Structure 1
Amino acid sequence: MLEAFSDFLKLLDGLLGGSVWFPYILLGVGLFFTLYLGFPQVRYFKHAWLVVTGKLDRKGAPGDTSHFQALATALSGTVGTGNIGGVAFAIYLGGPAALFWMWATAFLGMTTKFVEVTLSHKYRIKTEDGTMAGGPMFYMDRRLNMKWLAGAFAIATVVSSFGTGNLPQSNNIAIGIESTFGLSPAITGGVLAVLLALVILGGIHRIAKVTSSIVPVMSVIYVVGALAVIFYNLENIGPAFGSIFSQIFTGSAATGGFLGATIAYAFNRGVNRGLFSNEAGQGSAPIAHASARADEPVSEGMVSILEPFIDTILICTLTGLVILSSGVWTEKHLNDFDKTETSIIAGQYSDKDDEDKNNLFLYLNEEKGHNIEMYNGTIEVVSGKAQSQGFTILHARSVAEDVRFLLSEEEDLYTGSLVIQNGKIQKENIILRGKSLIHSAELTTEAFTRGYFGDYGQYIVSIGLLLFAFSTAIAWSYYGDRAITYLIGPRGVMPYRVFYVAGFFWASFSDTALIWDIAAIAIVLMTLPNLFGIMLLRKEMKQTVKDYWSDYESKRSGS
């Protein structure tokens, strides 16, 4: 049942976020507004820092939070597992070139976020309890008069609050804590679920206060740990950058256990992970920025320009360089195999043989020309070791080595016959343990041990992951409850928060790959309506920016 659901999610992701057309739409909208507005991410960058520091604040401006608190809340929603696990996942899938496409997504995303935040702030409302509520659903409703689109976006926001801000965050925290401290994921999830409930029940004021405290601390801790690895492997930084740029238009060649990736695969996954990291175009950050005290929507839009820069161009780059310079992304590591990422193929293949590598490369990158078929038959196992031949176990896009078959209940070595149908083991309680590539937070954790801090580096990742991911879950709870408020009113907020906390607990001990699949789909379901909406308001956006600068210059000359 679980594998069937996973296959369905992968199919859906392939039609949406993993499709050929989605990255082009995302980057295309960002490129359009970059040219249409004259590179605002460059021209307004300095001004954005002036706004966020409060030097241009006006007394009495309506709102619930300062510019910095709004930025911190939005950053806490974006700086999360995308920076730790997402970068590692992109490199694992597409090789070094995927990092370049994350940069491209961030650069163009700086403009996209500027547009979506400005328009959303412009059409925000004051709710019954006196707090501000905003986001794309409000400009879709109040300006475009497209209640159907606003409703679709709000529903997608609720779904995405689980798929983006909740489930992946909890899952990665639990994995990181378990691998570092050996603590049960269920215990980690339970404790953090209680803390999450205590924070989100306080609304935007408590959320803003907590996130504005966490974001600076977690950023400093993580940067220090990353630099310790980068300087330790300084001789590999040049080759790391070289591999990023040299493989942009060629695809990533096979190296070590990594079997290579095509240009299309690296491009698609780099853009996809870039969006997951900085959320530019997704329409989530405007919900946080709508709470900012400002009477000029453009000024808050300026603040949002800084988000993709800090999140992706700075933090994600550090993570990428740590992984590439340490070399762990090409190495096989002992781990328990996720069933959804494991397949058994007919024939014996080796990643040391050039012909086999080419065949596997075509298969894994979904290209034509391979002759790989799923294995069907029986495997005889004695004391955990397969006695049969004629098959190859693939896990995490790599040829698995030193595989042992265990009984999941006791972790005892298995002895007996295993029926394999279409590449999948039919016996439910079997765990495969062996050496293969790793990804997500697990890969980043391993990379952080290859620096001056040695094995202690893993604690930096665990602490950083805990703070990053927990703050993301806090921010996304606010996004979700604003969407619920739009859909059914304040009465729906408390039930939503209960489900949100319950989901956070459940995800702590659920399948990693399944969580990422859900997140990838949820992102697209928010992004497409938002991109459509801001394109319809392109002329208004341009005039709003023009009016802002005209007003700004007149007040400066008047003073």
Structure 2
Amino acid sequence: MDFFELLNKIDGIVWGPPLLLLLVGTGIWLTIRLKLLQVFRLPLAIKLIFTAKNNGKGDVTSFGALCTAMAATIGTGNIVGVATAIKAGGPGALFWMWLAAFFGMATKYAECLLAVKYRQVDAKGQMSGGPMYYIEKGMGERYKPLAIMFAISGVLVAFFGIGTFPQVNAIVSAGELSFNIPPMATAVVLTSLVALVTIGGIKRIAQVTTKVVPFMAVLYIMICAGTLLYHSEQVPQAINTVLTSAFTGTAATGGFLGATVMMALRNGFARGVFSNESGLGSAPIAAAAAKTKWPAEQGLISMTGTFFDTIIVCTLTGLALVVTGVWQGDANGAALTQEAINTAFPVIGTYIMTIGLALFAFTTILGWNYYGERCCEYLFGVKGIPFYRYIFIGLVATGAFLELDLIWQLADIVNGLMAIPNLIAVLALSGVVCAETKRYLDHLKTQEENLQGKHHTAN
């Protein structure tokens, strides 16, 4: 058995039925306990992105924390991950991505709420929070081994998972494919840029992401929507294909080898989690830095990240692949998505895709640098941060020269190991989540009543 086969076997065990059940089960349980909060409170959550007061303790604004989290989520998972999921599991994988995102919104809300509630200030005066803190402070000292497991997994994901290799590989491939830029040149420029930004910490990262994330998301949404508009007659059939193949599997056709329902489900969930990171425990680390005094407020704002990431961006990518029929060809990864876009935008599409992919991947590297850093700080204190940053930058430099299949296998395994302790904690602390939610909603109700009282008195 070679190394790749061994990784494949480990990946199959990690992402087997127990973890899929834990992921979906946590989302379903929270959806029930929070009374479909991700549906009924979504308008409020979107409104809060623009109207949150930012009047609590923290390092960055609520919007800055959301953009840092979305910088880490809206990335190659939306372009390469969706393509890989559909290539391996057929169009039905997109349906399972939707389902994972729907329940994942409740999970994202809960984990980000807990991060703000149990956050603390580190030795340098920066906010530190995330699953390692709500495991230890919320569940109790005896669960510290679970917190340590999460923090170690978080550093591994930053080093060998989402944080470096898949992103660097995507940027290098896109540059070589579209502009014939040598991988070595891309690696040098990328490593220098990452070093410049990440050494400035969360405030520098938030400054960059609040400018880049909205721009790149709008640009990518426009080009995908344009592709769907160009193939508008095929859209109803594409949606039908996604829904039917989710429950019946997909027969072999063209360069596609065929897929069972289980393959569609497994790929849809694994890539969905890779893309929106709900339940992974990463977004809470960014949420903990937000200037807010209401944990539930930041939970709602953070929840929108999953909605934008999967329900909007991944859906546009997936449907573009299905309406154009490119998923049945021989291409894979970024090249597959680029092929779909090129059907509608043969010249400009290549350049927009390359720039979009590079920006997506670059901001994901920045977000994950911060996540890994906070995990490192939990394990070793602030003295460990400089060493962590040097290793991270070194891995960014080497990520350009690894095989794509190996990269995704590694990313999947370490993601799964990170999700397990976090999901256990979110389930254990679901009562705290409900209590905090009630406290915040009661506050909003009182605020509204006071406002109506003042209005009535004035009249």
Shorter-chain TM-score tier: over 0.9
8 Å CA contact 2:296–2:437 kept in 1: the answer is: yes
The structure with the greater share of residues assigned to helix is: 2
In structure 1, what is the equivalent of residue 230 of structure 2? 232
Contact persistence 1:174–1:509 (CA under 8 A): no
Paired amino acid for 2:144: K
Q: Which residue of 2 aligns with 1:448?
A: 341
Native 8 Å contact 2:124 2:382 kept in 1:
no
Q: 1:211 to 1:58 in 2, by over 3 A?
A: closer
Instruction: Tell me how far 1:459 sits from its aligned partner.
Output: 1.3
1:115 alignment partner in structure 2? 110
- Segments of structure 1 that go 5 or more residues without pairing to the other structure are 332-436
Q: Residue 133 of structure 1 is aligned with which of 128, 133, 141?
A: 128
Deviation at 1:548, TM superposition (A): 1.5
Does 2:411 correspond to 1:519? yes
Match of 2:124, SS state, is coil
Match of 2:148 in 1: 151
Q: What is the distance in 2 between the residues matched to 1:528 and 1:510? A: 27
TM-score, normalised with respect to structure 1: 0.79
Paired residue for 2:167? 169
What is the deviation of 1:183?
1.2
Q: CA deviation at 1:92?
A: 0.1
| Whole-Å separation in 1 of the counterparts to 2:177 and 2:96 | 30
Matched AA of 1:95: G
In the alignment, which residue of structure 2 is the partner of 1:37? Answer: 34
Partner of 1:199: 197
> Higher RCO, 1 or 2 (CA under 8 Å, sep at least 6)?
2
Match of 2:63 in 1: 68
Q: Which residue of 2 aligns with 1:480?
A: 372
Contact 1:328-1:443 within 8 A present in 2 as well: yes
Q: Is the 8 A contact 2:54 2:61 kept in 1?
A: no
Contact 1:200 1:206 in 2 (8 A): yes
Q: Which secondary structure state, in structure 1, belongs to the residue aligned with residue 314 of structure 2? A: helix
Alignment match, 2:362:
470
Please say if residues 122 and 382 of structure 2, whose CA atoms lie closer than 8 Å, have aligned partners that are also in contact: no
Answer yes or no: is the 8 Å Cα contact 2:54–2:62 preserved in 1: no
Equivalent residue for 1:90? 85
For 1:96 and 1:66, the matched residues in 2 are separated by: 38
CA distance in 2, matches of 1:248, 1:87: 15
Secondary structure of 1:128's counterpart equals coil
Distance 2:431 2:225 in 1: 44
Task: Find the counterpart in structure 1 of residue 265 from structure 2.
Answer: 267
Aligned to 1:544: 436
1:1-16 alignment, distance < 5 Å: 4-16=2-14
Which amino acid is 2:384 matched to?
Answer: G
Write out per-residue CA displacement over residues 111-146 of structure 1, whole angstroms, 9 at most, x where no aligned residue: 000000001110000112221111010011112122
Superposed CA offset, 1:238-267 (max 9, x none): 211110011121111222221210001101
Q: How does 1:336-375 map to 2 (within 5 A)?
A: none
Corresponding letter in the other structure for 2:448? R
> Could you say which residue in structure 2 is the equivalent of 1:439?
332
Q: Which has the higher strand share?
A: 1
Q: Is this contact kept in 2: 1:169–1:473, CA < 8 A? A: yes
Give the C-alpha shift of residue 10 in structure 1: 0.8
Structure 2 unaligned regions, length at least 5 = 452-459
2:215 corresponds in structure 1 to 217
Aligned counterparts of 1:482 and 1:131: Cα–Cα separation in 2: 10
Distance in 1 (alpha carbons) for counterparts of 2:383 and 2:333: 37
Q: Secondary structure at the match of 1:53?
A: helix
Q: Name the CA distance, whole Å, in 1 between partners of 2:184 and 2:279.
A: 34
CA distance in 2, matches of 1:129, 1:556: 39
Aligned counterparts of 1:448 and 1:554: Cα–Cα separation in 2: 50
Partner SS for 2:365: helix
272-281 vs 135-144, greater mean Cα deviation: 135-144
2 CA distance for matches of 1:144 and 1:25?
18
| 1:190 CA displacement | 1.5
The range that moved more, 454-463 or 295-304, is: 454-463
Distance 2:218 2:18 in 1: 37
CA pair 262-129 structure 1, distance change in 2 beyond 3 A = same
CA distance in 2, matches of 1:486, 1:209: 24
Question: What residue number does 1:491 align with?
Answer: 383
Q: Distance in 1 between matches of 2:94 and 2:184?
A: 33
**Which AA in structure 2 matches 1:442?**
A
Residue 396 of structure 2 aligns with an amino acid whose one-letter code is F
Counterpart-to-counterpart distance in 1, 2:54 and 2:359: 32
Q: Secondary structure at the match of 2:139?
A: coil
> Identical aligned pairs, as a percentage?
41
Count of matched residue pairs: 448
- TM-score norm. by structure 2 comes to 0.95
Cα contact 2:74–2:309 (8 A) shared by 1: yes
Separation in structure 2 between the aligned mates of residue 177 and residue 266 of structure 1, nearest angstrom: 30
What secondary structure, in the 3-state scheme, does the structure 1 residue paired with 2:123 have?
Answer: coil
* Alignment match, 2:101: 106
Deviations 1:464-484 (A, max 9, x none): 110000000000000010011
1:558 deviates by 3.1
- Return closer, same or farther for 1:58/1:176 CA change in 2, 3 Å cut-off: closer
